[in-house]
Amino acid sequence: MRKAYRQAQILKLVRSRPISTQDELAERLAATGIDASQVTLSRDIRELGLIKTAAGYGEQNAAEPEASTDTLRRVLQEFLRDLRMAQNLVVLKTVPGGAQPVARALDTEDWSEIVGTVAGDDTIFIAAPSDAAAKRLREKLLKLW
């Protein structure tokens, strides 16, 4: 089976009904005759630009900046647990498994205060170009949280 077909079926599923977990997605795909490992699903979700929200997986529309900020607000409110600064780094702590959707939402913002993000399972390191930019970023994030 081709990757493009599998990813098209994933989009069809998340557009048609709420899907909250990768296990649920795997089950729904299996019901259509598509077997996919957790690693494959994670890669597909990332490549498709899907984000996890309170309602389940969904598409992010980067063409609408306001919608993008709304998405960031939602994922911050849902997943963020702590926010700290370390010179030009802003470190975010999330619930387990929450770092990836938050980092993805941050990456789509295209803010000048963000040079790049690195996300693990529950921690995100955000590099800012300067200490002052990190402070501005911290304030922006606190307003959304």
Q: Are 3-59 and 65-144 in the same CATH fold? A: no
Range in 7-11, 84-88, 89-93, 121-125 with the lowest mean pLDDT: 7-11
93 contacts 122 by C-beta, under 8 angstroms:
yes
Extract the tokens encoding 19. Answer: 């899907």
Q: Is the pLDDT of residue 102 over 50?
A: yes
Q: Domain segments of the chain: what residues?
A: 3-59, 65-144
Q: Is the pLDDT of residue 116 over 90?
A: yes
Structure confidence at residue 34 as a pLDDT band (50, 70, 90):
very high
Q: Is the pLDDT of residue 65 over 50?
A: no
Alpha-carbon distance of 89 to 26, in angstroms, equals 36
Under CATH, to which class is 65-144 assigned?
alpha beta
Extract the tokens encoding 56. Answer: 């389940």
Nearest-CA neighbor of 57 among 95, 23, 93? 23
62 contacts 71 by C-beta, under 8 angstroms:
no
**In this structure, CATH architecture of domain 3-59:** Orthogonal Bundle (1.10)
Q: Is the pLDDT of residue 89 over 50?
A: yes
Give me the helix-helix angle, 38-48 and 3-16, nearest 10°: 80
Please give the residue that has the higher pLDDT: either 61 or 69. 69
